[in-house]
Structure 1
């Protein structure tokens, strides 16, 4: 007897239900709501499904049906690889993933790194299958952010930007703890300050920053930390216009090393080098060690973030709750909207950590070779 050459019909939820003489909803519940049917019935469903090559309900079809993607999009300012090597970003994502896991949601990383045109950035965002966005430290003029706003989905901003409609914001007061840290250094006798910071705008710049253009900086966090130092200098009667600031477009320990070398060659009188992140400060410490400088005898070095490696090294820094920040951003996004139309701003606490890298001025006037 010849075999039929007709292709075997693909098993569907309906065909499984027909064979078992149960409803399609019952078959679906076996996969999605197992508590709704007995163990015996579930096993019968899976047995027939396995025999007929049925893998379960199509998640894409389900998302079309429910209009829910089951995932949260995270818009980052950097390339994707940055998220896995920057300790502060990793801690933030850890907290956010915990909130998503508790709500049964997935996480989709959308790196908003430089290099794409506005149209390419919009394409990346528009094809992302998500139910809402957590915007992590993105400048207000970023083309990815513009594309996110076009989606008209729920948004929570972390750190920056602020004031995007009614979107809640989770962050810290970046200015006050930096001012307090600078005041501490002034009380130790320091009056010559230098700052090493992350990039202040979308255009690449690696070098000394013209203080007159700081008001135009698009990155709120970095700008506020610099302002904090200038506040402390003015309060102490110091000339804040004499402050030396060096910017790095990328954010690695190597950038901290090269920036420390540059800033000390520009102004060798600096006795307090304040870095706007711990990653940059750890790089500055490595440079000082190679240069034979005593820290803090010749040079006090401080950071910001309170990452584990910095705390192990005894860095004087500002500790911020990065993991709590991520968790709270996720909770706000996944919670029911308040419909108040007023953005909610949650400011988390920070803590000054006085380590072994800051101390009284003991030696001045060293000159970099």
Structure 2
């Protein structure tokens, strides 16, 4: 077994103090450029990559890192425009304090997992060397939330919570705006496509609605409240909020003999997939069928989507500020939303 190279090993080989080696990696302003270059050259020669982050955090009480809990695959997360905007806001604020982002994956659906599978996901939360965390769309009883609480780590969420900090929007009121817009256009046959663990295109039963993300439940409730009495609302799974799963949901809805006159998706990604399928089938979006989305990410304008605009980048920025400066930030912030009407919605068609 080879000899373990430590910070002290580098210091002895370079003929400097251990503090100088630490400064070379973490506080370069404390050394001359010549000395830092010499120390780093010795470190490279010995195969030393730098001080251990976990050990340093134990000594200082800070890791200078914030965790982000993902309940989607990391590969998918980097293709989701909402997630990218949120990460952009977090990174903008954290960069000023030289604080890192640690991406922590968690199983997307806890229900149905074995205890061993839940423990595997929780292991990443327990091992993460972080000072606090951001969780998007998780409830108080989610295992990741409980694990962070057990570690006494600060947590900021994007959904309403009785305990802890949050930066949120009023999803229910935003849903009412969508429902009111569709009602004003005369729509009584509405389908709502939601992100869901169910297979895309499958009906989401009232019992299944309890397993939806909090934002999906609130938006769905708002749409129902704003539609007129007697309106029919169908809820269909859009899968994991991806273009491919959205197309499956849209195909199932548009092939039905009692096709809805309006389809409200709880993200622009799913709504754009509905527009794509409808267009391929020869339907005129905004005439034969109306479609709405949510978020107002860049693809919404190019698709002509009627959608709800929410300040995603600002949400991420404020979440980071709450973690970095808890004494000078509020515990709870509700950001405004705006219904943006474009060409994808129009009066109910005559049949």
What's the TM-score bracket when you normalise by the shorter of the two chains? 0.7 to 0.9
User: Cα offset for 1:19?
Assistant: 7.3
**1:45-76 deviation line (CA, Å, top 9, x unaligned):** 54366358465851434333213222111111
Q: Distance in 1 between matches of 2:6 and 2:260?
A: 74
Q: Which runs of 5+ in 2 are unaligned?
A: none
- Greater CA radius of gyration, 1 or 2? 1
- Does 2:109 match 1:118? no
Of 165, 168, 171, 1:174 maps to 171
User: Cα offset for 1:305?
Assistant: 0.8
Q: Please provide the CA RMSD for this pair.
A: 3.0
CA contact (8 A) 2:290 2:346 kept: yes
Q: Which residue of 2 aligns with 1:296?
A: 286
- Does 2:38 match 1:50? no
Q: Distance in 2 between matches of 1:224 and 1:192?
A: 20
What does residue range 127-276 of structure 1 map to in structure 2 within 5 Å? 127-158=127-158, 160=159, 162-163=161-162, 165=163, 167-199=164-196, 207-211=202-206, 214=209, 216-233=210-227, 237-240=228-231, 242-266=232-256, 268-276=258-266
CA contact (8 A) 1:73 1:130 kept: yes
Of 95, 98, 106, 2:92 maps to 98
Q: Distance in 2 between matches of 1:32 and 1:11?
A: 15
Q: Which runs of 5+ in 1 are unaligned?
A: 1-6, 365-369
* Number of residue pairs matched by the alignment: 341
User: Cα offset for 1:348?
Assistant: 0.9
TM-score normalized with structure 2 length = 0.86
Q: Which residue of 2 aligns with 1:315?
A: 305
Aligned to 2:102, what secondary structure does the other structure show? strand
CA contact (8 A) 1:76 1:138 kept: no
